[in-house]
Amino acid sequence: MSSQTGTSQKMTIHKLAQMKRDGEKIACLTAYDASFARLLEKSGVDVVLVGDSLGMVIQGAETTLPVSVDDMLYHTRCVANGLAGEQGRALLITDMPFLSFTTVEQAVLNAGLFMKQGGAHMVKLEGGADQAETVAALNRNGIPVCAHLGLQPQYVHKIGGYRVQGRDQKSADKMLADALTLQQAGADLMLLECVPELLASEITSALDIPVIGIGASAACDGQILVLYDILDISPGLRPRFSKNFMASADSIEDAIAQYVTAVRQGGFPAAEHVFS
C-alpha cells in the first residue's frame, strides 16, 4: 500500500473538481507508451489519456474504429508502468474503444479490465444522454467516467467526417442537455471536442464537474491535446485546434513543459485554436 504522503500527492477526481472551483486550469495530454508517460509525469501533467487516437498515431489507421479492447489494455499497461516509474501522480484515463460498450454489461466488464489489469483510474466514453444508463452502472461499480461530447470520432461515418459539432441552436441545446444528463448519471469529467467556443463556455459554466476542451474554449476547466500533435510527429495534417510546441522548444521535454505552462497560465488555446 502507498504511504500516506505518496497517496495524498496523487491526482484524484476530487482534486480535479477542486481545481475547477479554484479556477486552476487542468493540463491533460495523451500517451501510449511508458517512455512518453514518464516524460509527461515529470512535466507535472494532471491527467494522462490513453486515447483511442492510438489507432491513428500508433497503428497508422485512418480512423479510431479498428482499435480493440486488447490494444487499449496493452497501451494502458505501458502508460501505467511509465507513470509509476516516476511519481505516479497523474490521473490515468483509458478510452473505451469503438463497440466495447454496446451493452451495460459489456461496458462494465471492459472498463473493469482497464482498471484491474491496465491500472486505469477512469474510463472515457463517447456518446450523449443515451449513454446515461452505462455511466450510472459504471459509477455504481466504482468506475469513474469521463463523458465525451461534441465531435465523437467513433461516429465519423455517421456524421460524415470530422467536423465541428453544435453549431446550430438545436444541436447546441441537445449538447447542453446531454452534458447535464451525463453529469446527473454520475460522470466525473466531461470532454468537449470541436465545439464552438461560446457553447463550450456555456457548458463549462453549467456543469459542476470539470470540463476539458480540445478545439473548444479557453474557458474550459482544462485542455487536452494529442501528444504527437504537439510534438509535430502525427501522420497527416495537424488539426487546426492543435499547436506544434516543438517549434519553440529545445527538446521533447521542453515542448511538453511549454504546453503544461501554456494551459496553466491560460496561454493555450489562443483564438486560432478555437471555433466560432
User: Judged by CB under 6 A, which stretch of 47-55, 72-80, 96-104, 181-189 contacts ligand KIV?
Assistant: 47-55
Closest distance to ligand KIV from the beta carbon of 88 (Å): 21
CB of 4 to ligand KIV, least distance (A): 33
- Using DSSP, state whether 225 is helix, strand or coil: strand
DSSP-derived 3-state class of residue 18: helix
Binders of ligand KIV among residues 212 to 231 (CB under 6 A) are 214, 224, 226
- β-bridge mates for residue 124, sequence order: 95, 146
193 in catalytic set: yes
Selection from 43, 41, 37 nearest residue 76 by Cα: 37
Cβ at position 257, least distance to ligand KIV in Å: 19
Binding mask 23-42 for ligand KIV (x = CB under 6 A): -------x------------
Which parts of 153-172 interact with ligand KIV (CB under 6 A)? none
Q: Which of 40, 51, 113, 119 binds ligand KIV (CB under 6 A)?
A: 51
Residue 4's CB: how many other CB atoms inside 10 A?
A: 8
Q: Which of 41, 62, 133, 193 is catalytic?
A: 193
Does position 52 interact with ligand KIV (CB under 6 A)? The reply is yes
Asked if 60 contacts 89 with a C-beta cutoff of 8 angstroms, the reply is no
Longest dimension (CA), the chain: 51
Q: Is 154 helix (H, G, I), strand (E, B) or coil?
A: helix
Contact with ligand KIV (CB under 6 A): which of 25, 26, 37, 53? 53
> In this chain, which stretch among 13-21, 45-53, 130-138, 231-239 interacts with ligand KIV, using CB under 6 A?
45-53
Count, residues near ligand KIV per rule CB under 6 A: 11
Alpha-carbon distance values, 104 to 12, 90, 131, 213 (Å): 25, 28, 9, 27
Instruction: Please say whether the beta carbons of 192 and 212 come within 8 A.
Output: yes
**Cα distance between residue 31 and residue 40, in whole Å:** 8
CB of 147 to ligand KIV, least distance (A): 12
Evaluated on CA atoms 143, 21, 153, 40, the torsion sign reads: negative
Residue 251 burial (CB count, 10 A): 10
Question: Which of 46, 95, 202, 229 is close enough to bind ligand KIV by CB under 6 A?
Answer: 95
**Positions in the binding site for ligand KIV (CB under 6 A):** 30, 49, 51-53, 95, 191, 193, 214, 224, 226
Residues with active-site annotation: 193
